C-alpha cells in the first residue's frame, strides 16, 4: 500500500484535494486499497480551508509516508520551523514529496529546491524566482519532476500530477482509466504549457470564433485571410478588422500561435520527427517552425523536445 500524507494549513485551497480523488479512483480501478491518504497539519485537528470548509487532520509526527503532498493557498508565506523540519525529514524517508501551486514556496523555504527545477502557478512564478534565486523556476510547465521532488502548476494541474504518479506506480492503463472516471483527458505532459492560444484569443462574435475553430482544425491548410474570411462570411478587409478588434491579434499572428501550440504538444509526446511535425501543423519546413517558436516561446523546438523527454523519464 502507498501511504500518502497530505499536509495542509489554515486557508489552504480545497482544490488541492482533487488529487485525492484520483488516488481514490485508482483503488477502485485496481480493486484493492493501493493508496491510503491521511490529512496532516502542524498541530492536528480541524483546519479551515479558504472556502470555509473544515478538514479533520492528524498532527505531524514521525510516521513515514511513501508520498507527501503539501497543499497550497492564497498566501505564499505559511511555513514554520516544524513544517520545514518535516519536509527535510520526509525527503529522507519518503519516496517522493510534492507541492502543487504555491506549495512550492514551502519547499523552497525549507531549502530542498535549491539547485532543482520547479514550477508553480504562472501568477506566482516570478515571485518564487525572486525570493529563492537558487531554485530553477520554469513558469510555463504543468508539472516538473526533479529527482524525488514533484512540483506543479495550480488548480487542475494537481490532477495531472496525481495521474502521473499513478502511471509511475501502476502503469499507463490504470492512469488512463482513472482519467476517464474523472471525466478528463488523460494527463497532460508535464512540459505542456500552462497557457492556451485558444483561450487567449477569446473572440466576442460567433463569426470570428467559427474562423478560429476552423483554423485550429485545419492547420495544414494555408489559412490565408481570404480562406478564414470565407468561413466567417466576411470580406477579407472586414474580417481582418473584426478579428484584430476582438482578439487583439492579427489573423496571421493568431494562426502562428495555434500552430506553435499544436507543434509543442507533438514535440512533448516525442513520437514524430521535426519535419513531420512541421508539415502536420502547417509550417512549410522545420526552419520556419524554429523561427516561429523563437518568436512565440523564446526557445527553439529542440528545447521543448528535451523538456518533454525529461518530464516523461519518471514514467518510463
What long-range pairs does 200-205 form, CB within 8 A, spacing at least 24? 200/257, 201/247, 201/249, 201/254, 202/247, 203/243, 203/246, 203/247, 204/246, 205/242, 205/246
DSSP assignment letter at 62: S
Report yes or no on 99 lying in a domain: yes
176 and 207 part of one domain = no
Phi/psi at 80 (5° precision): -155, 165
- As a whole number of angstroms, the distance between CA 120 and CA 151 comes to 7
- As a whole number of angstroms, the distance between CA 33 and CA 1 comes to 7
pLDDT at 84: 94
Tell me, rounded to whole angstroms, the distance of Cα 35 from its chain centroid: 23
Neighbour-count burial for 163-180, b at 16+ CB within 10 Å, e otherwise: bbbbbbbbeeebbbbbbe
Task: Name the residue among 189, 191, 232, 227 with its Cα closest to residue 208.
Answer: 232
pLDDT higher than threshold 80 for residue 194: no
List, for residues 197-237, the tens digit of each pLDDT value: 666 777 889 999 999 999 999 999 999 999 999 999 999 99
List, for residues 110-151, the tens digit of each pLDDT value: 999 999 999 998 888 889 999 999 999 987 788 899 999 999
When pLDDT is averaged across residues 28-54 and rounded to a whole number, the result is 94
Domain span holding position 64: 2-181
CATH number at residue 18: 3.40.50.880
Paired with 96 in beta bridges are 67
pLDDT higher than threshold 60 for residue 185: no
Report yes or no on 155 lying in a domain: yes
18 and 139 part of one domain = yes
141 and 257 part of one domain = no
Report yes or no on 191 lying in a domain: no
**207 SS3 class:** helix
Burial class (CB in 10 A: 0-12, 13-18, 19+), 209: middle
List, for residues 45-82, the tens digit of each pLDDT value: 999 998 899 999 999 988 899 999 998 887 778 888 99
213 and 113 part of one domain = no
Cell digits of residue 79: 511555513
Q: What is the mean pLDDT of the chain?
A: 89
pLDDT higher than threshold 60 for residue 309: yes
pLDDT at 156: 81
pTM value is 0.65
Specify the DSSP element, H or E, that contains 290. helix 286-296
111 and 201 part of one domain = no
Amino acid at each position: 500500500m502507498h501511504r500518502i500524507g497530505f499536509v495542509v494549513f489554515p486557508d489552504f485551497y480545497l482544490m488541492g484535494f482533487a488529487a485525492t480523488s484520483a488516488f481514490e479512483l485508482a483503488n477502485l480501478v485496481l480493486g484493492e486499497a493501493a493508496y491510503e491518504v491521511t490529512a496532516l497539519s502542524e498541530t492536528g485537528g480541524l483546519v479551515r480551508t479558504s472556502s470555509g470548509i473544515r478538514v479533520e487532520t492528524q498532527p505531524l509526527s514521525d510516521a513515514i509516508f511513501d508520498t507527501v503532498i503539501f497543499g497550497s493557498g492564497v498566501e505564499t508565506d505559511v511555513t514554520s520551523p516544524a513544517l520545514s523540519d518535516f519536509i527535510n525529514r520526509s525527503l529522507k524517508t519518503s519516496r517522493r514529496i510534492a507541492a502543487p501551486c504555491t506549495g512550492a514556496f514551502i519547499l523552497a523555504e525549507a531549502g530542498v529546491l535549491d539547485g532543482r527545477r520547479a514550477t508553480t502557478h504562472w501568477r506566482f512564478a516570478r515571485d518564487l524566482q525572486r525570493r529563492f534565486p537558487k531554485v530553477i523556476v520554469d513558469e510555463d510547465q504543468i508539472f516538473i519532476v526533479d529527482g524525488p521532488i514533484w512540483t506543479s502548476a495550480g488548480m487542475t494541474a494537481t490532477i495531472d500530477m496525481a495521474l502521473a504518479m499513478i502511471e509511475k506506480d501502476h502503469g499507463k492503463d490504470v492512469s488512463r482509466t482513472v482519467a476517464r472516471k474523472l471525466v478528463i483527458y488523460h494527463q497532460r505532459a508535464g512540459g505542456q504549457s500552462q497557457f492556451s492560444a485558444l483561450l487567449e484569443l477569446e473572440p466576442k462574435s460567433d463569426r470570428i470564433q467559427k474562423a478560429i475553430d476552423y483554423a485550429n482544425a485545419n492547420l495544414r491548410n494555408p489559412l490565408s485571410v481570404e480562406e478564414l474570411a470565407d468561413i466567417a462570411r466576411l470580406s477579407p478587409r472586414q474580417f481582418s478588422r473584426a478579428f484584430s478588434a476582438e482578439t487583439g491579434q492579427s489573423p496571421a499572428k493568431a494562426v502562428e500561435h495555434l500552430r506553435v501550440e499544436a507543434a509543442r504538444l507533438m514535440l512533448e509526446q516525442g513520437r514524430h520527427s521535426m519535419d513531420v511535425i512541421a508539415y502536420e501543423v502547417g509550417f512549410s519546413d522545420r526552419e520556419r517552425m524554429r523561427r516561429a517558436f523563437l518568436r512565440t516561446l523564446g526557445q527553439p523546438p529542440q528545447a521543448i523536445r528535451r523538456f518533454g523527454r525529461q518530464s516523461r523519464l519518471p514514467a518510463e
